[in-house]
Chains A and B, each alone.
Chain A
């Protein structure tokens, strides 16, 4: 396990004795990795994150983590109760909850929170309610909370879901920068082209690992077809892989203007 922070070894997971959600998964997360896990809905992406975090039990196989490894999790924004009464500073500050601590955020912690928020481009927003932020800022609050735990590895569950194209790339670019500073990052996403552009390592998952490696090795028609169960087209554009984000055999209804003429292809 030298150099590896997390080793997933032949892991099978099921919930309540039902059909396996993950089958014989092998994966190693090294220090400094930036890994994107992709796959269709129900492919076990979130379960794989939970297994690596230690919050689900294995039916067989194992997940080994370096002893004392500090981890942080950025949840799906859809799971957040945006009506919950917390300000940005309170949300970030709650992360340091282990051990005996003062209930209030200390002056030193306040300075640290301000530094983390500043680093993520959110300076001066500490007293805002979390709902009063834009989609990208909401994602960054939870990233700030994970960073405030001094995590060595941060897991993000679909950090780009529900974001517009520009914000999606901003978030991935930010993760790229944090990774360049030495943070190990594992994320799940449906944004194939986003990870092709920003992430050095991709894992294609559909209950089992179908492919893992650099985007140009993994984002190929054969692997994508086995992952998504349908042929998908991959194009080269400006030296980058671009996955046509729809199965080839999908029925496409051309857009029509109100005058009845079809939109140009």
Chain B
């Protein structure tokens, strides 16, 4: 493949939009994914993306703004899971399984009955570079800026609550507020990246960069930075691969980040020395 062939897609506005969204979405998911992974919440990332698909379909059916409706649906789902776990002797994984898959099933049923609101169902499920519009770019930029601001200003309470909820609460941090804030950020992230990644693969975009970063460093601050960079590079490379291989963008982005995982797994020790960590990965 020549250089000209490689840069040719950048002539198209839809592709440039796709690259912007995929790169920013990768960085955003990498950042938020650190909290998801360290809280052992990988399954809720997966469940929330499925649940939001249900909200998207319902919002389309009742005629409210799709993103607003799906976002509110996502937050309600996350809070419902928390409420069920607190009130009944049910584990969080089981509660997530019940609530989010029911929501996803509702979405699938509504799409089959009434058609997909806004764009086709395949694009929502697996991501599609052609589906990215200028408004998607602004949406992801807005969510990324808001998330970066939240991580900046709430860095310490987020870290303390993630690491040691009990002690954080004992020392006066409103851990339930911090948890709710993280759920809102997670819902917004899933919603904003749904077009590029697709519902079925968003969880991988949240989890893989954070896991790779964790394998490379023992410092939380470095993990956040590394994860965001790995996510962004995966988004950029994966979106290019999507165009050239004519494969949906979600799978190519996830496969790119999976390559990072394999490299980190095989050459973790050397890479850790490069990032200033000489110990072994735990």
A residues neighboring B (CB under 8 Å):
50, 53-55, 71-73, 75, 79-87, 90-91, 93-98, 100-101, 103-104, 129, 131-132, 149, 151, 155
Q: How far is the CA of A83 from the CA of B157 in the complex (A)?
A: 19
**Which residues of chain B are near A55, meaning CB under 8 Å?**
166, 169-170
Q: How far is the CA of A101 from the CA of B156 in the complex (A)?
A: 8
Q: How far is the CA of A85 from the CA of B275 in the complex (A)?
A: 13
* A–B Cβ pairs within 8 angstroms, 21 of them: A50-B170, A53-B170, A71-B170, A71-B171, A72-B171, A73-B166, A73-B167, A73-B170, A75-B164, A85-B217, A86-B159, A86-B219, A87-B218, A97-B156, A97-B157, A97-B159, A98-B173, A103-B151, A103-B153, A103-B155, A151-B171
B residues neighboring A (CB under 8 Å):
38, 151-153, 155-157, 159-160, 163-164, 166-173, 214, 217-223, 277, 279, 282
Number of A-B pairs whose CB atoms are under 8 Å? 83
10 A-B pairs besides A94-B163, A104-B221, A151-B171 with CB distance below 8 A are: A54-B170, A73-B170, A85-B222, A90-B159, A93-B156, A94-B156, A97-B159, A97-B173, A98-B157, A101-B156
Closest to B222 in A: A85
| A8 → B minimal CB distance (Å) | 16
Closest to A90 in B: B220
Q: Are B38 and A84 in contact (CB under 8 A)?
A: yes
**Which residues of chain A are near B155, meaning CB under 8 Å?**
101, 103
Q: Are B169 and A90 in contact (CB under 8 A)?
A: no
Q: Are B159 and A131 in contact (CB under 8 A)?
A: no
| A95 → B minimal CB distance (Å) | 7
Q: How far is the CA of A101 from the CA of B167 in the complex (A)?
A: 19
Partner of A73, one of B157, B163, B171, B214: B171
Q: Are B167 and A75 in contact (CB under 8 A)?
A: yes
Q: Are A82 and B156 in contact (CB under 8 A)?
A: no
Closest to B214 in A: A85
Q: Are B38 and A95 in contact (CB under 8 A)?
A: no
**Which residues of chain A are near B282, meaning CB under 8 Å?**
82-83, 129, 131
Q: How far is the CA of A93 from the CA of B219 in the complex (A)?
A: 13
Q: How far is the CA of A196 from the CA of B55 in the complex (A)?
A: 62
| B249 → A minimal CB distance (Å) | 30
Partner of B219, one of A87, A103, A149: A87
| 10 residue pairs, one from A and one from B, having the closest CB atoms | A103-B155, A97-B156, A129-B218, A83-B282, A53-B170, A73-B170, A97-B157, A94-B160, A97-B160, A73-B167
**Which residues of chain A are near B153, meaning CB under 8 Å?**
100, 103
**Which residues of chain B are near A95, meaning CB under 8 Å?**
160, 171
Interface centre among A54, A87, A96, A149, by most chain B C-beta atoms within 10 angstroms, is A87
